[in-house]
Amino acid sequence: MASTKPSTTPNILATLVTKSVWKSEELADLLAQEVGRRDKLQELKIAAEKEAARLKMEGNCDLQEEVEYLQSSFNKVKVLVTRMAKEKLPNRWENLEFYQNVAKVEELEKCKRYMMVLDFYTTTSEKIGDNMESDLEMDAIELFHRVKEIENVYVGVGDCEHLRTLGAGIVSYWSAKFAQKLGRDFEQLFEAFGWPLRLKTAIPTLETHEKLRRAITSFARVNAKPVRDSTNELEETPNSKFDPILPVQVLMAPLKRRFRFHFLSDKPTSESSKPEWYFSQVKQWVFDLVPFVKTHLEQITVSEMGISCIIEFVRCVSDMLILKVDAHLQDDFRDGVFVKILEESIAFENEIGDFVAECVDSQSKSYLPAFVNAVFSRPETLQRWVQAEKLASLEKLDDMFSSESAWSKPIAAGPPEIVDLFVAVIRSLTDRFAHLQHRAQRLKFLHLLNDLLDEFHVRSLQTWKCKSDINEYLPNDTPIDYVIADALYSIHDTLQEWEYLPFFASMSVRNPNEDIISNAAIYATAMDLSPRRQSSSSTNFVPMISYGSDSAPESPDFQPGNLFENACGLYWCLANEIQTKWCTQVIRRVKEDIHKYAQIKWQSFDCTTTPERLTDQLFPALQTLKDTWKTLFNSMDPKNADKWMKKLAVKVDEAST
């Protein structure tokens, strides 16, 4: 086809020209150019086909050579396998001596390795000793690391017990030697820095700084990374064992001597009625000495060992103080001293915790001991704490209700002063027992918290009964009903907000590892502990306080099962009782005028001739309602006042019918 086209196309073109179909010379030139380009492409195609055939032939030759080489290698391997199969080992029963010799060789190899390791232990231990005497500490540490590596190899080997025991003994021996050497070095270096009292006046040289850095680095290389518990679970007893790292032990030695001299002897500073003295001293040590630890030790211990030297130091100081406080509480049973120790312990944990948080990474605080929990988690100590908080809170309640300004309002639209004082007492109690770690311990204070809420409710009821019977008014001519109801509403709303806080929500969630204490059980226990409730019925606690009302409606936002369920119900019931009595009193004053107004025969009036005006019988009732509305909104929170006015409107409609 390709050979005929060059001759066919000009013939066709000539035929077209002859028949006068195409007359254009330009078309003939164009076709001639295309024919020439096609011929060139044909030549290139032929050349490319020849080159492809040549390359294909060369590639097949290389591949054939590879195949032949692999086949030859396979044949050689096959021959060798066949030869080895013919020369197999003799049977155990055919040649018993051969296998006995093999076992002897294995035993000799094991003995040889044993002697090599034993010789390594002996010679390396001697070299470590020589380097220690020659003050080549870094070389000794390198050899010590080699011994530890070999010792770790034989830890899991069952038939090398003696060698394993020897290796562990050598490692333990030289670890103690390094600790003694580094301990002496740390003592000398810390003295050169002026520890613990001359840190600001001592002037250590650059060589001393460098020696301290090398000593800490050497200690980090010799000792394995200590394991520290990073969970929140702590010992319930204050006598928990804790071995700090060596530099911290050296730092604590002079502090322990001073603490023992001043506070664990018969010195005047160990006065049992002054626990604030040793608390202040320990806090001062932490504030003054931690900057030195942070500057010279913290970075190296964190980078080399993953341990915060600041945390180790603070924990040692705290443990020293915990032992002193625990012994003090067991020897001294005076309530005043107990309260002082409690106050100082809470302040110590708060202040030291905030200070440490500024000095170290927050992730390193996980194993900082909870001081209050460690000291006061024992059952007898915890019970003394609960009793002390109860007495102090009741005294504060006495002061609140006896104050002349208790029901006055610092802000016109805000709650009375007694509400802020009472909420502050509850907040203070909550912040204090929040230091405890276990839910069961916190529930003891939750019982106390509900007792205080009930006490405030009862005292508010008594105050309202006494003052409302004599129609007592506050200095601003504010009825006592308004102020007491407003206070109850405010505390009710506060309790409902607290129920959703994480702290209280965590106590309402049942923990499968603890005894299940339901909300009803909490209040049942609180009722058993309360002298007033022992004589009351235990069938239904909320409707029991209705004080003559037909019903005790619940709060619209009330949800059963919350921690403050009964307290919210009590406060709502008393506020509703005050509101009902107030509505009754207002309606009693306007009822006669409203009846007269309702009895007017309106159908006899001509709307077209009688002007639209109010009758004189309604003016006193409207004036009374207006004065009541004005006094109500000036004395209560607008939200609560609006609720009262709506209920009053319903009662007025009922009275007019």
In the numeric block, the tokens 């064992």 are attached to 241
> pLDDT digits over 280-295, tens only?
999 999 999 999 999 8
Helix (H, G, I), strand (E, B) or coil at 479: strand
Give me the pLDDT at residue 519, please: 39
Backbone angles phi, psi at 479, to 5 degrees: -60, 140
In the numeric block, the tokens 């492809």 are attached to 52
> pLDDT digits over 572-626, tens only?
999 999 888 888 888 887 777 666 666 665 555 555 555 555 556 667 777 777 7
What does the pLDDT average to over 632-640? 80
Give me the pLDDT at residue 553, please: 37
Residue 479 β-bridge partners? 473
> pLDDT digits over 314-352, tens only?
999 999 999 999 999 988 889 999 999 999 999 999 999
> pLDDT digits over 92-141, tens only?
666 677 778 878 888 888 888 888 888 888 899 999 989 888 888 888 88
Q: Cα–Cα distance between 410 and 416 in angstroms, integer?
A: 7
User: Alpha-carbon Rg of the chain, whole angstroms?
Assistant: 48
Give me the pLDDT at residue 20, please: 47
Q: Cα–Cα distance between 111 and 187 in angstroms, integer?
A: 46
Question: Would you state the structure tokens that stand for residue 312, as one six-digit string?
Answer: 């180790």
**Contact criterion met (CB below 8 Å) for 254 and 196:** yes
Residue 29 vs residues 21, 35, 601: alpha-carbon distances, Å: 16, 10, 124
**Taking the model in full, what pTM does it have?**
0.66
Mean pLDDT, the chain, whole residue set: 77
What does the pLDDT average to over 175-201? 87
> pLDDT digits over 216-227, tens only?
888 888 876 665
Confidence grade of residue 453 (pLDDT, cut at 50, 70, 90): very high
198 has pLDDT over 50: yes
Comparing 562 with 146, the larger pLDDT belongs to: 146
Domain boundaries, the chain: 5-81, 97-192, 225-377, 380-585, 587-656
Q: What angle do CA 582, 545, 519 make, to 5 degrees?
A: 130
What does the pLDDT average to over 634-640? 81
> pLDDT digits over 525-544, tens only?
333 333 333 333 333 322 22
The 10 Å Cβ neighbour count of residue 516 is 8
Q: Cα–Cα distance between 476 and 412 in angstroms, integer?
A: 11
Distance, CA of 285 to chain centre: 28
Q: How many residues are recorded in the chain?
A: 657
What does the pLDDT average to over 361-382? 76
Helix (H, G, I), strand (E, B) or coil at 502: helix
The 10 Å Cβ neighbour count of residue 310 is 26
368 has pLDDT over 90: no
Helix (H, G, I), strand (E, B) or coil at 473: strand
Give me the pLDDT at residue 596, please: 66
* Burial of 233 from C-beta contacts in 10 A (0-12 / 13-18 / 19+): exposed
